[in-house]
Amino acid sequence: MHLGLPEEIDPSLFRYLPKGVDVTRIGKELSGELHLDMWVLPLNPKQAAAARAHIKSVHVVQSQYAGVDAFLSVVPEGATLCDAQGVHDIPVAEWILSVVLASLKYIPFYLRMQDAGDWRQRIGAQKLYLNAHPGVQPMLPPALEDELTGKTVLIVGYGSIGRATEERLKPFDVKMLRIGRRRREGVEPEDRLDDLLPQADIVILLVPLTDQTRGFFNGKRLAAMKHGALLVNAARGPVLDTEALVEALRAGRIHAAVDVTDPEPLPVGHPLWSAPNVLITPHIAGSSPGMMDRVMRLIGDQCRRYLAGEPLAHVVTEGY
């Protein structure tokens, strides 16, 4: 079979490919026509669009990402699109656990004081805690952080990353609520979201970006969250209404941790940068040294399936 791979993939990882695979390395500078059995998309959508102009026939298009929204336009008609479900479970789940703990422990607040070289404002942490817990009286010694143990966590978009996240949260004795595309054991359907939102101390967004999920977490749903709850967006920026998020943060109703934004990259001077109680990272949750090894293990398995005439894994239907 003829396999097209981005040229930046280290040839040492070709060891995961089965016998009978002929590799064509696809770079940024292309000429002529390519006829492939399987095309592995590059990580950059613009690079994929440029390569697409030279690919005249292909049976299978394999993404390196779990989310394929940025690449749907480059998939030739009649080709089977597969995502990379499972490849990013470990780093994204670890990122989620990290920002949940960092947010509850007010680490960004303390880092700002460290940068200023002045601890005298640390009592402000108690104000943050009391604002998140209306009706709680000031304590002695003052409460300067919150606890994860005993919290109710709602995962919206419960797939492989959601399962990996839950495994990492289990030692903290949290109560789990789960929303998926459809009802199954332990997982509630999408139409239950508005009923479950007010119960959650932590809401984690992991839904794919589709026409149905674009902007679905809007001002109304932000207002329905428990006062002081934490919103974590590890999905896609446009699933969350940025303007409504900034408003909710400024009002002190919630706090948030986001790896993705809308727009992305977040422009200099955007109001989200200066909004209170938000931790922002630049869409890096899925990036780790182990990523490409897992990508090539998946590609090797997909090639084996293709050669054996077996069904491919993670075939995309309905946009995800």
Q: Which residues are catalytic?
A: 236, 264, 283
CA–CA distance from 84 to each of 99, 132, 224, 271 (Å)?
Answer: 24, 38, 33, 34
Cα–Cα distance measured from residue 141 to residue 125, given in angstroms and rounded to the nearest whole number:
12
Could you tell me if 258 and 233 are in contact, meaning their C-beta atoms sit under 8 angstroms apart? Answer: yes
Could you tell me if 3 and 17 are in contact, meaning their C-beta atoms sit under 8 angstroms apart? Answer: yes
Cα–Cα distance measured from residue 59 to residue 219, given in angstroms and rounded to the nearest whole number:
42
Cα–Cα distance measured from residue 72 to residue 81, given in angstroms and rounded to the nearest whole number:
9
Could you tell me if 179 and 189 are in contact, meaning their C-beta atoms sit under 8 angstroms apart? Answer: yes
Q: Output the six-digit token pair for 309.
A: 């005439």
